[in-house]
Structure 1
Amino acid sequence: MGESAWLAERFEQQRPYLYSVAYRMLGSLGEADDAVQETWLRLSRADHDEVDNLAAWLTTVVSRVCLNILRSRQRRREEPWDVRVPDPVIMPAGPDDPEQAAVLADSVGLALLVVLDTLTPAERLTFVLHDMFGVPFDEIAPMIDRSPATARQLASRARRRVRGQAPPTDRDLARQRAVVDAFLAAARDGDLEGLVAVLHPDVVLRADGGTTRTRHTTVIISAPAVAAQATTFGRFSPFARPALINGAAGVVVMASGRPLSVMAFSIRDGRIAEIDVIADPDRLTRFDLSAFTD
């Protein structure tokens, strides 16, 4: 086996890990793909004799690529506090099996990705690498041109924000599905009381309908307001198909073979705490929803 083939094989072994890092850093499937591909290009041009630890080298490179993307995104953002519904990872929901259990255990919810979007690029990098992937601070520090102590402080600051805005959610998939099914049934029947009963009092609904050029996401807060909005969705309930959205119970709404929306739910204490909806036709075409067509 030649050196280039050997290197390509080693890179492919690392690709799933690199993609996981990039997706958590960026919350975008397309940008994560781009970051991993750029990492491969840099590896193919590098002096391989100077790479002692390939996994660590690749982690550093993909993290720096993601950091540049985050900084560029931050400069382009017209409204600093704009909310964006991240790209979801979508799978069909079937009978419980080990593969789905593994996806759930390794998943990162959309609600968490929304909070990560509020962090500075350096905070996000340190939190993702240290708290999610166990990278030591002395390895993270050179990526952001800071000391290990400063990197530790950045991660701590990010951790506090995450804990405050995205507390742990229920992890039992069967219980999640039961709550989502109750929500869909109440929406179908126009049952406001039933909807309020399954919604957390401070539930947050984020919906990207692609209706404006500068701010795509509508945010609605409180159970009565979200319940009122959900009744307008009721006529689409018969077209909702169970799905795993970032490892949690969600639905894909399909009508006549055409996707209408993807809905992700965060369940906390047996109630829906957050709902993330993507109904932007342009974004929906980027997702592989072939498993949900008739």
Structure 2
Amino acid sequence: MLVGTHELEVFEKARPRLEAIAYRLLGSASDAEDAVQDTYLRWQSAGHAEIETPEAWLTKVLTNLCLNRLTSARARRETYVDQWLPEPVFAGDRMLGPSETVEQRESVSIAMLTLMERLSANERIVYVLREAFGYAHGEIAEILDLTEANCQQIYRRAKQHLATGRTRVEVDAAGARKIVEEFLAAALSGNTDSLVRLLADDAISAGDAGGVFPSLPRPISGALRVARFLRTLFTIDDAKRAMIGGSPALFAEVVNGVPAVVLVVDGQVVVVVTFEVTTEGITAVHTQANPAKLDRATRTWTSGEPLVESW
């Protein structure tokens, strides 16, 4: 069935919100795009005259599609060849969705998206729709075919699972650059103590290379262990240059609302390292080097002034 001009406009107006919901639910920009496209196909064949509230209809269809994907993704990630981490997205990308409140900004950080993997599919959907998009429990109940009381209970349980007890430091582009400059000065100096001072005592480091590059099989923890690993990670030798195709330039960016080092070779993003910064220091370092999860980053990359051009 062909979609009329009005119906097409309705969907395109909703697309940014649908993408942002799907990204928070799936942790993958590419999967989110696919889910939104599948939603459009269902919208295309729907009886539009019978749909009273297109926004609610589209959200329900998208959520159910994401629910199916979350169930199958959980099974795939049990056999994932590496540590699974979300796909990074640069500041300004509409995939990140609303960012007016602290809760909205926090819900899209790499650390929070990683924590959300602990939630059941329903917990994740209820948390995202309520926390990031302000849906009432009654609206969520209709989307998931649950009772309102059940949704409230699921939401409380999800909040408990995700509570960290730490105060996150929010940064703008200038603040992110300052943090990244300080980090790179320590990492490239070869002085482990300088890195340790930037990290919280129980800092963790996790990486996702998708089995394409060598990586740690599981997260490491403790400021000293993490510092030693990061010092090695940022030591470039001929073997690493051959692996990534040259000597990368290093840039400071804001990725998923947090400071990040972006390694770029010939216009291609090859590694994104994000820092979860709290009042206690850097509590988490997430390294994304899986090429399959850096396609959107490369497509949306806009070259600025590198902090380091070669080393």
User: Would the TM-score normalized by the shorter structure come out above 0.5?
Assistant: yes
Task: Please list the CA deviations of residues 237-291 of structure 1 after superposition, one character each: whole Å capped at 9, or x if unmatched.
Answer: 9832111211222121124555431111111016111111012244334532542
1:125-136 equivalence runs, <5 A? 125-136=125-136
Report the AA paired with residue 168 of structure 2. T
**Partner-residue secondary structure (3-state), 1:252:** strand
* Alpha-carbon distance between aligned partners in 2 of 1:130 and 1:188, rounded to the nearest angstrom: 42
* 1:96 match: none
* Alpha-carbon distance between aligned partners in 2 of 1:268 and 1:175, rounded to the nearest angstrom: 13
> Structure 1 pair 36/282, CA: closer, same or farther in 2 (3 Å)?
closer
1:220-235 equivalence runs, <5 A? 220-235=220-235
> Structure 1 pair 261/218, CA: closer, same or farther in 2 (3 Å)?
farther
* 1:291 match: 302
Q: How many residues align?
A: 282
**Partner-residue secondary structure (3-state), 2:146:** coil
CA RMSD of aligned residues (A): 3.0
**How far apart are 1:218 and its partner, in Å?**
3.4
* 2:279 match: 269
**Partner-residue secondary structure (3-state), 2:156:** helix
Report the AA paired with residue 279 of structure 1. A
**How far apart are 1:234 and its partner, in Å?**
3.0
Task: Give unmatched runs, 5+ long, in structure 1.
Answer: 93-100
* 1:95 match: none
* 2:171 match: 172
1:162 maps to 2:167 = no
* 1:246 match: 256
Contact 1:260/1:281 (<8 A) preserved: yes
1:42-53 equivalence runs, <5 A? 42-53=42-53
**How far apart are 1:145 and its partner, in Å?**
3.3
> Structure 1 pair 134/293, CA: closer, same or farther in 2 (3 Å)?
closer
> Structure 1 pair 255/35, CA: closer, same or farther in 2 (3 Å)?
closer
Fraction of identical pairs, as percent: 33
* Alpha-carbon distance between aligned partners in 1 of 2:252 and 2:79, rounded to the nearest angstrom: 34
Task: Please list the CA deviations of residues 119-164 of structure 1 after superposition, one character each: whole Å capped at 9, or x if unmatched.
Answer: 0001001111112111122222243332111111111100111113
* Alpha-carbon distance between aligned partners in 1 of 2:33 and 2:167, rounded to the nearest angstrom: 28
> Structure 1 pair 282/129, CA: closer, same or farther in 2 (3 Å)?
closer
1:55-204 equivalence runs, <5 A? 55-78=55-78, 83-91=83-91, 107=105, 108-164=108-164, 167-173=166-172, 174-204=174-204
* 2:239 match: none
